[in-house]
Each structure stands twice: as C-alpha cells, then as structure tokens.
Amino acid sequence: MVKKMTLKLALSGLKNHLKDYFILFSGLTISAAIFYMFQTLAANPLFLKSNTYLSSIVVIFNLGTFLLAIITFAYLNYANNFLISLRSRIYAMYLMLGAKSRKIAQLIFLETIVIGFLAILTGIVCGIILTQLISRLLIKQLDLSLIHYSPWNNQAILVTLIFFLFIFVFFALKNARKLVYTPILKLLNQEKTPVRAHKNPLLWGGEIIAGIVLLAIGYWALAHLDKLNVNGIFMAIITIVSGSYFVFDSLFLAIIQSLQHRPNFALKRLHSFTLGQLNFRLRDLTKLLAMISIMFALALGAITVGIGFHRDIATITNVCSDYDFILHDPSTRELDQVNNLKLTDTSVYHYKIASNKVYWLVDDFNLKPFNHVIPNGSFNPIKYSHVTGKQMLKDKNQWLSILQSYLGDTSTILPGGFLSKKEFETKTGKEHIINLYVLKNFMAEKNQIKPLVLADNKKIKLDVNRDSTQKYNMFFVINGMLSGFEFMGLFLGIAFLAMLASCLMFKILSGANNDMHRYQILKQIGARHQLLEYSIAQEIGTIFLLPALLGVVHVLFGLQMFKVTNLIYEPYKNLIIPIGIFLVLYAFYYLVTDFIYQKKVLRK
Amino acid sequence: MTSIVAVQQVKKVYGKVHEEKTVALKNVNFQVETGEFIGIMGASGSGKSTLLNILSTIDRPTSGQVLINGYDITKLRGNKLSDFRAHQIGFIFQDFNLLEDLTVEENIALPLSLEEMSPKRIKALVTLISKKLSISSILKKYPAEISGGQKQRAAAARALITKPAILLGDEPTGSLDSSSARELLNTMTNLNQKDKISILLVTHDPVSASFCQRILFIKDGVIGKELRRNNLDRISFYHQILNEVESFES
Ligand SMILES: Nc1ncnc2c1ncn2[C@@H]1O[C@H](COP(=O)(O)OP(=O)(O)O)[C@@H](O)[C@H]1O
Ligand SMILES: [Mg+2]
C-alpha cells in the first residue's frame, strides 16, 4: 500500500513536469558528456605524449580537470536546486497528508540517484558519440594532429562514473536531509517575501569604490605577471573575485535603483515592474553573477587563447623557414604539379657534388638573390635580406653552411665552395638542382604541397624533426606542439560556457513557479502579451548581460598576462572573433532560457 | 437607467472532453445598472468565483453572453482583451494580488504606466486616489510591510486609478479582520455614492452584503432570488439578509 503510494507519488511529479524534467535531464547529460570528453583527453597520456613536445601539458590537463570538476560541481548544485524546486511542494503536501518524512526522504534520495545515474549513462554514451564527431570535424577543420585520440576510453568512463556518482550521492543525501529538516510550511511556500535592502549610503559608496579598486589591482597584477610571477596570479584571483562580488553587490544595484527613481524611465510601460524584479533578483543572485562573470572570463579567455595558439602556429611557422617549400632535382611531373600552385617567387640554384664536396654556381645567386629571414627576437615583422652571390663570397663559410642545411642528409658530404660559371661547367661531378618556392599563402596551400614535400623528404633522407628549411616540416612540428593547447583551450572554453550559461538558466527557471503569479496579476491589470514578453526578455537579458559585460572586461585586461609573459604573440589580434563566437553561443543560451521561461510563466 | 453589465444565459461547465464534468453555472441572467452597488451571495461552491472570473475575463463561459459597458467580453481576444481589462474593469481579490517587489505607489501607478501617460499626470492621479483611500502615508512601502486592510485598499486604488466602468470584487474582505473589513466597505460605499462608481461584489458574508443596495442569491448555478435594500438602514438590511440566507440555503 505504502509502496504503491510512493510509486504513484514519484510518477506524479514526472507527468506534470515532463518538460522541466527533460530540461534538467539534458542539462545533467550534457555536463556528464563534457566531463567524459575532457577525460578522454586528460586520461590518455599516450595521446598527450605523442601530440606534444612538452611534458608540462599533462600538468595543464590535470589543472583543466580540476577546474572542470569545480564548475561541474557548482553547475550540478544549481541543477539540483531546480529539481528541488520542482518537487518540494508536492512532497510537502504528502507530508501534510500524513506520509512519514523518513519514507519521503528515502524517496527523494532514490529519485535523485536514479535521475543522476541515468544521466551519467546517457552522458557517457553522448560523450563517446560527440568525441567521435569532434575528432572528425573539429580536428580536420583546425588541422589538429591528434593521434591516439580514441572515443572509447575505459579510464575516462571510470573516472566520469565515479566522479558523478559521488556528486549525486552527495546531493541525494543533501536533498533527503533538507526535506526532513525543513518545516513543511517553508517547503509549501518557497516564495521569498522581498525585504527592503537597508544599505547605509556611505558604506554603499565605499563598496562601489572598493569593488573598482580591487578589480584595478587585479588587472594591474595580471599586466605585471612577468615580474610578479605566481604571486601575481594569487593576487589577481583574490582581488578580481572579491572585486566582482562587490561590483555586483553595489554598483549594479545602485544603477538599477537610480533608474527606479527616475520617473521618466520608471513610469514607462512595465519598467517599474522589470526594475523591481531586477532589484530583488540581483541581491539574490549577487554571488552567482560574480562567479559567472569570472567563469565567463575564464571560458572566453580559454577560447581566445585557443584561437591565439592557432594563429601562433601560422605566425611561428612563417618565420621559421626562408622559403615556403623546396624541391630537390624535381621531376617533370613534380614541376607540372608546382605549376598549379599560386607562386609569388621561384629560385633555381645549381650545385655539383664532387668527391663528397658541394660546389654552388655563384652566378645563380647574382641572378636571383637568396632570401634569408633575419631573426630579430620577435615574430613580426619579418625582414628578409636578399643575398647576392657577391655578398656570399665575402662571408663564404657562413653561407656555405647555411646552404648546406638545405641538402637534407649531409652525413657524407661537406661544404665545398662557390664556383663561377666557367669553373662550374668544367668541374667533374654530378650536377643537381634545388628549387626554392614562395607561395602566395602557405597556410592555404599547405595541403597541396604536402605530397611533394613528403616525397622530397624521402628523396634527401631528411630528419624531419630537426629540419627548419622545409616549412611544411616546421609546420608539422609546431602544429603538433600547439594544437594540444589549442584544442584544450577551445574545448574548455566551450564546455565552461555551456555550464555557466546553464547555471544561470537553471537558477532563473527555478524561480519561474513563483514568478508565474506575478505575470498573472499583470495580465489582469491589462498588460498586453507582447509587453509581458518584452519585459521578460529585458529582465532575463539584463541578468545574462551584466556578468557578460564584466566578464569581457576581465578578459580585455586579463590578456595582458599573455602579452607580458610572451606566451601568445599579439593576444589582442582579431579579438573580435573569439568574442563574437562566444557571444553568439551565450546569446543562444539566453534565447533558450527566455523561451522556456516565457512558456512557463505566461502559460494560460 | 442604463445597464453597465448584462449577463445572459451564462453557462459554465468545468472538465475537458474525457474528464468528469462539473456544472458550475447552469443558466445565469442578470443586469447591473450604472452606479449600482450590487452583491452576489451564495454558499461555498455555489459558483460565485466562477461567475466573477467570467465577468473579469479571466475565464470564459461555456455558452451565453456577457456585455460590459457595451463590449461583448466573451468575444474579446489578444490585445483587445488586454486593453479592455486595462480600461473598462478593475478588480480586487481576497488575496490582494499586489506585486510584492513593487512599492504601494509603484503598484498603483502600474496601470497608468501601461497607457504611456506622462509621469507628471501619473503622480498627480496616484496622489489623488491614495488620498481618497487614505493610504497616502504608506505609498513608499512594500506590500510585505503593511497590514491586510492597507493592502486591500492599495489594491482597490490600483483597480480604480484607470477610472474603470465597474469595480469587481471576489470576497475582498475575506482575509481582513472585521474592523478593516468595515473600513474598506465604508470606503467602497463612499466611492459608490460620491464618485458614482459601479461596484459588484461576490461574497458569502452577510455583513459585506449588507453594504450593497441589491443582492442576488446564487445556488446550484442559477440566481434564485433578489433582495433590495431600498431605504432600509444597514443593520435592518443585515438581519433581512440573515433570514433570507437561512431560508434560501436550506
Ligand atoms: N477549475 C475548476 N475545475 C473544475 N471544477 C471547478 C473549477 N473551479 C471551480 N470548480 C467547481 O465549480 C463549482 C463552483 O466553484 P466556485 O465558483 O469556486 O464557487 P464559490 O466561489 O462560490 O465557492 C464548485 O463545485 C467547484 O468545485
Ligand atoms: Mg470563491
């Protein structure tokens, strides 16, 4: 009998709130999928080692896992509160009807575990599928070279399973406890009666100033990270986190309240209502919004850095080699292929190998000077010197060894000298040609030259990893080194974004049941439907916008960190792209939240 | 005299196609004259709220017609419906329905803000109506900070500020103590007599009903009887109602 009732009770909620459960469930699933996907990277040292030349990346990935774990926990906390908001009323009702609180506690414990467990399983399956898709799509798109990246990974499955189970058991216990210890009345009526904020204006002003000063100190610390090192990071974390909190607790509230006191604004349409909602909401949301602004900055920063690394691949590759590609003794078939490329410059130099010594035809260099990158300590701008044969003769040994490096495996040959046309013709020995090309756009045509380069590598028995003359080889090495960072930056950025936006979404939707009543009243007063929609869009928009604004400011100042530490060259270049991508995704979450919320509160 | 409300053959059946049906209103017919203070009385479950919800356009009748100030309200949809609510009717409920996150002043001003009236005029009208309802001193407070009686007067001020054709009330004194209830009813009587505002109340409370000029008794979804106060004083009318309730409801 009791069992039957509890079962009925558990199912009754499901039926009435099918859509809400769907939102909740998909949210949990996504977070589990994201966690799993990151684990397939982090838990696969084989992948990490073979993809990067830096052992420190394993540490970086572990740091990433740590960050992801924290945000996942915060996120699940909001999702759980959403679940509670769906259930507490009906549970309280049954408690009032005489159901034993122990029974109900057991029930909510079970319910949380079951939902959680199903979400983990679905999440892992989704994670495997998504991993497969991403490794196909994204990696191809970005020229990422991710070897050994297999979608199915036992260790990742295990870690994800344990981590999420642990969290869900924690929340299940918390929910059960909460239900037993919270008075029924409070469960029944979760609506919080707004209380007036009694703020001392002097303290308030002080808080605003303190917030701004703290942020300024944090930004300053990031901009001087080259001198402050680790201390700077700690300093920035503390000041920016507390500064963000103060700004939300004081500055934004002050703006809203000052708007409330301007009749020309406040007494227009539903402004007074929207401002009133925001006034109370913001106070309730201070901590969440401050956290979101930080997470927003981390996510946007990660994407920016990811894209920065992507750009670095091209920038670094560009200055590493004198020419875009090189062919040794090309066949006519190879020359035909070269003709299909968009070339801006071609140089042909002759040399002979006689008794293990290399002799270059100096007239070739007078005819067509040799391009040489002058290293100037930075990656931009690149300056070339155009070296003629005459100039080479002045510093013979240096140029002979530079040219020697263009010949691949030189274990059996030594630099010989420069010969005039006459001397060259009479020299006995095998004659060779080397063709040096400059392309209009290396990055755009690198896939076309790839087969030519690979064949040439074989021909001259080149040690790919130590070669810097063939640009494509350099690209291969640099890409392998940086694409791991790039992938992680993009991945973490998007994962963070998805979760922080969902945190906001769940928080806002958890309040929808209480807000419904207010919109009912507005309808009765005669507010038109479009006006209500507009007011909701404005209110939720502000809640989404404020942390985004502060987050963008964090990023703009925070990127100084990469500039002064030289980790990324030109971190501010094309900043509009990551910000654009990010804001589009964020706006998508806003629209979804707005849509669901409207559906809920304006329902007839 | 012209009628401000005309209810013709209104029927309301709850329950969707495959659900069990409840007939809340069988066949309701009556009219309210302009400037009248009318009460509709009935036991709990007799269909009073259903009737008031239909009059206030929150719900629609299953069949029948309702005219308010010339509008056939059963045919109104969308923006026309919203505008009708904003201009033609004001209502107050047992649970006040004030917006908790707005001050009393902002609550009262809200219907005018919707009309895009100038802030200056809004302020003037709010001042005027709050004097009439003696709530000038609590304008800056939030609903949570004032008493039930004050809340209901604030709600009445918000309902009346657009000068509606009729004020509708569903047990407006239901959550008030007897002295605040009396104050509110006196205020309403004043509004009716001095400002010629038409008022329609539904109530099960004979004291509230005794402030009306005419009372319709509803039972099992039909109006069964009518009582006029004429020139009777309130106390005598109250006793007449008590007698009527006893005989009508048994
Ligand atoms: N939404 C509804 N769905 C089904 N039945 C309802 C609904 N609202 C009211 N009723 C039924 O209609 C009848 C009249 O209710 P109501 O108008 O609320 O009465 P009163 O306000 O006079 O107490 C009652 O039998 C009630 O159970
Ligand atoms: Mg009722």
pLDDT (tens digit per residue) in A555-580? 999 888 888 877 777 788 888 888 89
User: How many CB atoms within 10 Å of residue A462?
Assistant: 20
Distance from CA of B213 to the nearest CA of A (A): 27
Tell me the DSSP string of A417-445.
EEE-HHHHHH--SEEEEEEEEEES-HHHH
| Chain A residues with beta carbon closer than 8 angstroms to that of B97 | 521, 524
Q: Can you tell me which atom of ligand 1 is nearest the CA of B53?
A: 17
Tell which phi-psi region holds residue A377, choosing left (phi > 0), alpha (psi between -120 and 50) or beta.
left
Written as six digits, the tokens of B10 are 């209104």
pLDDT tier at A21 (50, 70, 90 boundaries)? confident
Query: CB–CB of B101 and A195 under 8 A?
Result: no
* Region of poorest pLDDT, from A68-72, A460-464, A550-554, B176-180: A460-464
Q: Is the pLDDT of residue B249 over 90?
A: no
- Report CA-CA distances (Å) from A95 to A9, A82, A185: 12, 20, 11
Q: Is the pLDDT of residue A50 over 60?
A: no
- Average pLDDT of span B23-40: 94
Contact A54, A149 (CB under 8 A): no
CA of B46 to the centre of ligand 1 (A): 8
- Average pLDDT of span A270-284: 87
- Give the best-scoring range by mean pLDDT among A98-107, A399-408, A534-543, A572-581: A534-543
Written as six digits, the tokens of B95 are 């649970």
What is the C-alpha separation between B177 and B182, in angstroms, rounded?
A: 9
HSE at residue B200, side-chain half, CA atoms within 13 A, is 28
What pLDDT does residue B137 have? 95
pLDDT tier at A461 (50, 70, 90 boundaries)? confident
Contact B22 CB / ligand 1 (< 6 Å): yes
| Chain A residues with beta carbon closer than 8 angstroms to that of B102 | 272-273, 276
Written as six digits, the tokens of A445 are 């045509």
* Region of poorest pLDDT, from A299-308, A586-595, B96-105, B230-239: A299-308
**CB within 8 A of A252, min separation 6: which ones?**
A282, A546
User: Average model confidence (pLDDT) for chain B?
Assistant: 91
- Average pLDDT of span B105-118: 91
CA of A80 to the centre of ligand 1 (A): 36
| Chain A residues with beta carbon closer than 8 angstroms to that of B109 | 267, 272
- Average pLDDT of span B230-234: 91
Q: Is A331 helix (H, G, I), strand (E, B) or coil?
A: coil
Closest partner CB to A524 (pick from B79, B83, B91): B91
Q: Is B216 helix (H, G, I), strand (E, B) or coil?
A: strand
pLDDT in tens, B201-211: 999 999 999 99
Q: Is the pLDDT of residue B27 over 90?
A: yes
Asked if B60 has any chain A CB less than 8 Å from its own CB, the reply is no
Query: CB–CB of A196 and B142 under 8 A?
Result: yes
HSE at residue A598, side-chain half, CA atoms within 13 A, is 19
* Region of poorest pLDDT, from A514-523, B14-23, B85-94: B14-23
* Closest-approach residue (CA) in chain A for B53: A524
Closest partner CB to B113 (pick from A272, A279, A524): A272
What is the C-alpha separation between A497 and A492, in angstroms, rounded?
A: 8
Asked if B82 has any chain A CB less than 8 Å from its own CB, the reply is yes
Question: Which amino acid makes up residue B202?
Answer: V
Q: Whose CA is nearest to atom 13 of ligand 1?
A: B24
What pLDDT does residue A565 have? 75
Contact A361, A337 (CB under 8 A): no
Closest partner CB to B116 (pick from A268, A276, A527): A268
Mutating to test ligand 1, I would choose from B12, B22, B40 the residue with most ligand atoms within 8 A of its C-beta, which is B22
Contact A511, A580 (CB under 8 A): no
- HEC readout, A520-589: HHHHHHCCCHHHHHHHHHHHHHHHHHHHHHHHHHHHHHHCHHHHHHCCCCCCCCCCHHHHHHHHHHHHHH
pLDDT tier at A539 (50, 70, 90 boundaries)? very high
What domains lie within chain B, and their CATH numbers? 3-248 (3.40.50.300)
pLDDT tier at A25 (50, 70, 90 boundaries)? confident
The residue behind tokens 């000077």 is A369
Q: Is the pLDDT of residue A173 over 60?
A: yes
What pLDDT does residue A154 have? 85
Percent over 90 (pLDDT), chain A: 19
Query: CB–CB of A273 and B142 under 8 A?
Result: no
What is the C-alpha separation between A412 and A357, in angstroms, rounded?
A: 9
What pLDDT does residue A381 have? 46
Q: Integer distance in angstroms from the first to the last C-alpha of chain A?
A: 36
- Average pLDDT of span B178-207: 92
pLDDT in tens, A352-386: 988 888 999 988 988 888 888 766 655 554 556 78
Q: Whose CA is nearest to atom 11 of ligand 1?
A: B24
- HEC readout, B56-107: CCCCCCCEEEEEECCEEHHHCCHHHHHHHHHHCEEEEECCCCCCCCCCHHHH
What pLDDT does residue A408 have? 79
Contact B214, B39 (CB under 8 A): yes
The residue behind tokens 């409840």 is B22
Q: Is the pLDDT of residue A594 over 90?
A: yes
Contact B46 CB / ligand 1 (< 6 Å): yes
Which of the residues A517, A528, A530 would you substitute to probe the B interface, choosing the one with the greatest number of B C-beta atoms within 10 Å?
A: A528
pLDDT in tens, A205-260: 999 999 999 999 999 998 998 888 778 888 888 899 899 999 988 888 889 889 98
- Report CA-CA distances (Å) from A90 to A16, A94, A132, A419: 11, 6, 42, 96
Percent over 90 (pLDDT), chain B: 73
Q: Is the pLDDT of residue A198 over 80?
A: no
Angle, vertex CA A16, rays to CA A13 and CA A21, nearest 5: 70
Q: Is A291 helix (H, G, I), strand (E, B) or coil?
A: helix
Asked if B146 has any chain A CB less than 8 Å from its own CB, the reply is no
Contact B93, B76 (CB under 8 A): no
Instruction: Give me the helices (H) in A327-370, please.
Output: 332-339, 362-367
What is the C-alpha separation between A582 and B1, in angstroms, rounded?
A: 67
Contact B43 CB / ligand 1 (< 6 Å): no
Written as six digits, the tokens of A502 are 């969902």
Burial class (CB in 10 A: 0-12, 13-18, 19+), B159: buried
- Find the ligand nearest to B62 CA: 1
Question: Which amino acid makes up residue B161?
Answer: I
Query: CB–CB of A267 and B113 under 8 A?
Result: yes
* Closest-approach residue (CA) in chain B for A267: B113
Comparison of pLDDT for A204 and B137, the residue scoring more: B137
Helix (H), strand (E) counts: chain B: 8, 10
Question: Which amino acid makes up residue B126?
Answer: V
Q: Can you tell me the ipTM of this complex?
A: 0.90
Written as six digits, the tokens of A180 are 């037993």
**Could you give the angle at which helices A512-525 and A576-601 cross, rounded to 10 degrees?**
70
What is the C-alpha separation between A452 and A450, in angstroms, rounded?
A: 5
